[in-house]
Amino acid sequence: MQPKLIIHGGAGNSLKGKGGLVDVRNSLQEIVRDVYDRLLQGENATDAVVRGCQLLEDEPRFNAGTGSVLQSDGQVRMSASLMDGTHQRFSGTINVSRLKNPIDLAKFLQTESDRVLSDFGASELLRELQIPIYNTLTDLRLKEWTEERKDNFQKKMAGVIAGSEEAGRGTIGVVALDRNGKLAAGTSTGGKGFERIGRVSDSAMPAGNYATAKAGVSCTGIGEDIIDECLAAKIVVRVTDGLSLAESMSRSIQECVANKRDLGAISLDATGAIAWGKTCGLLVAAYHNGQEIKDTLEWGEKETVGIDKG
């Protein structure tokens, strides 16, 4: 089967400045190229998703791994999850710190009996696995937090897309379909930024990351809005119930618009169809449809759902 791949680096309102647009496009396309080559060589969907998430986490312009935003107390706490669609198995970590790639912990937990760990438990596992301590803080995020501290954290979230003049909704995600027709999805985030200590995002929940043998979805945006819609699972369930991926995405995003949600989603199904949707101005996503790499960076602000049937 021809592999397919879609990734995202968050959502928001704009990427102002041509330099910012070009840099983000180059970053996304380089990652798509790397991961898609692995799929062509026979790598399975789950490993490809992990690789894609690692590369996105390592890119400081995105709010996950290196470059994650700071919470209200000045600490970085990250969440990530991985779902193997073939085995319909979900794993994840919530509010983990001092780790370069949170998706690695989610991958390890795929084969454990306890598959979702939070803060203290995740830290204990890091020590058990002897994973090196890593500082994900960047000068940009520290400056951002320091400036907002002067205003006593009046903003609801940090500006989480580098090159943007407005606040964005920061998460990274990958959905892959491999040569054997297997699907997987992964999602990782540093959170909203400036949030209350202990706040949990959608990224380590089936609401924000879900996959079965029929379809896979990764979400981005305001975590609370995604949780309220249970968006990723809703789209996948609709595909499982017989709707096309395009119709499932369209119906789900229309409901989000009616409920005044602020979010975006990327998806693949077992036929190779690719779909994405948003309720905000911009979805930072790129994909490989089996023939070429495309992205959504200049996709119309008023457009809500896109589809590539493959």
Domains of the chain, by residue range, sit at 4-308
pLDDT of residue 13: 75
Active-site annotation holds for 220? no
Give the rounded percent of residues in the chain with a pLDDT score beyond 70. 92
> Of residues 66, 136, 171, 296, which has the active-site annotation?
171
pLDDT of residue 167: 43
Q: Rounded mean pLDDT of 287-306?
A: 92
Q: Which of 259, 262, 255, 264 minimizes the C-alpha distance to 297?
A: 264
pLDDT of residue 19: 43
Q: Rounded mean pLDDT of 264-278?
A: 98
Residue 211 has pLDDT above 60, yes or no: yes
Q: Rounded mean pLDDT of 48-63?
A: 96
CB 128 within 8 A of CB 148: no
Q: Within 10 A of 57 (CB to CB), how many other CB atoms are there?
A: 28
CA distance linking residue 99 with residue 105, whole number of Å: 9
pLDDT tens-place string over residues 8-54:
999 987 665 334 788 999 999 999 999 999 999 999 999 999 999 99
pTM of the model: 0.94
pLDDT of residue 165: 42
Q: Rounded mean pLDDT of 92-101?
A: 96
CATH number for the segment(s) 4-308: 3.60.20.30
pLDDT of residue 109: 98
